[in-house]
Amino acid sequence: MTKGRDLATTDLTVRGAGVFGLTIAWEALARGARVRVIDPRGPGGGASGGVVGALAPHAPEGWTALKAFQLDCLLAARSYWPQVEAASGRSTGYRRSGRLQPLAGDKALARARARGIAAATLWRGEATWEVTADVPEAAPVSETGLWVHDTLSAQLDPARAVAALAAAVAAAGSEVLREAGEAGAVVHATGWEGLRDLSATLRREIGGGEKGQAAVLAAEPGEIPQLYADRLHIVAHGAGRVAVGSTSERAFEGAETTDGELDAVIDRARSVAPWLRDAPVIGRWAGVRPRAVTRQPVVAPWPGRPGHVIANGGFKTGFALAPGLAPLAVDLALEGTDRVPEGFGLPL
């Protein structure tokens, strides 16, 4: 395969080198397509270059086709990210860590136990959701002395995962170009700005951006589960790095600037995880996540533009769903075959 610089020999152009764009490129390359990836900011220059990396499931209740799709994606991640690591020679930080959530009060406890019963069936015996008092010292504070422990949740390091994907794409015969012309079918995985511009083009609300801020603290709790408490993810990435986040800001100024909103996140993290109280902050991150009005990703043909496909709106589930959505986007772009679940279409 060539590097994809010759327009005449390009089957697929992918605009965007975040997790959606790179997983789509790698999928197309695996099928023998000649691919070019274009992103003026380079790999992970947008929201995919974050620091938290919590891959967490929906609660096992009110089951839908979309929840089943997410389950399949989380289960497939066990082999997907090791394959990326093997192809790239780089670590993604992927680990099937599980997750701990403190339970506050009798209602939360009853709900958690009901979800555990549902998970035994809905998760097909592949993972568990259970109430436990047997937790590591680093578990978040729980007023009941009980926690939910699920074994489906996992984690990765977003920036390292994107770098590994870019290296896997390069090893397969393509690369990320800062700018180039389009040829062949075109997939637009262009982040929140792409959703904003698409809304203007189609003259209806498709989506936009929601800012998130997160921090990295210097601490080494060992290989603990990811923690979720007080609406915060706490993820230990090893090498003395623990990520905490994030904010959810629909209105914002300064897409990549951090402020007092992040200071409040750090304070809350130290409150629910006392072992972080003296941990110094060694990194602050801000970015804008692409959020469709449906809160679900969008994988769909671009209306009125034959051969153009939209793959956007990962929001808080992009890394979890991208490996499962990539084959669907490539089917649309290269074969014209639509296997996309109904909930991932363009908002009406």
Q: Is position 42 within any domain? A: yes
At 348 the pLDDT is 78
Distance CA 99, CA 59 (A): 12
Total of domains in the chain: 1
pTM: 0.95
Please indicate, yes or no, if residue 229 is contained in any of the structural domains: no
Q: Which domain holds residue 332?
A: 7-57+158-207+293-344
Residue 136 lies inside a defined structural domain of this protein = no
How far is residue 35's CA from residue 183's CA, in Å, rounded to a whole number?
A: 9
pLDDT of residue 49: 96
- Tell me the C-alpha distance between 265 and 142, whole Å: 18
Q: Is 120 helix (H, G, I), strand (E, B) or coil?
A: helix
Establish if 340 belongs to a structural domain: yes
Residue 14 lies in a domain: yes
| DSSP three-state, residue 185 | strand
Assigned domain for 92 exists: no
68 found inside a domain: no
pLDDT of 2 reads 40
In a domain, 202, yes or no: yes
Q: Which residues of 6-26 are buried (b: 16+ CB within 10 A; e: fewer)?
A: eeeebbbbbbbbbbbbbbbbb
348 residues of the chain, pLDDT tens digit each: 344 446 668 999 999 999 999 999 999 999 999 999 999 999 999 999 999 999 999 999 999 999 999 999 999 999 999 999 999 999 999 999 999 999 999 999 999 999 999 999 999 999 999 999 999 999 999 999 999 999 999 999 999 999 999 999 999 999 899 998 999 999 999 999 999 999 999 999 999 999 999 999 999 999 999 999 999 999 999 999 999 999 999 999 999 999 999 999 999 999 999 999 999 999 999 999 999 999 999 999 999 999 999 999 999 999 999 999 999 999 999 999 999 998 999 987
Provide the CATH number for the domain around residue 32.
Answer: 3.50.50.60
Residue pair 227/100 in contact (Cβ under 8 Å)? The answer is yes
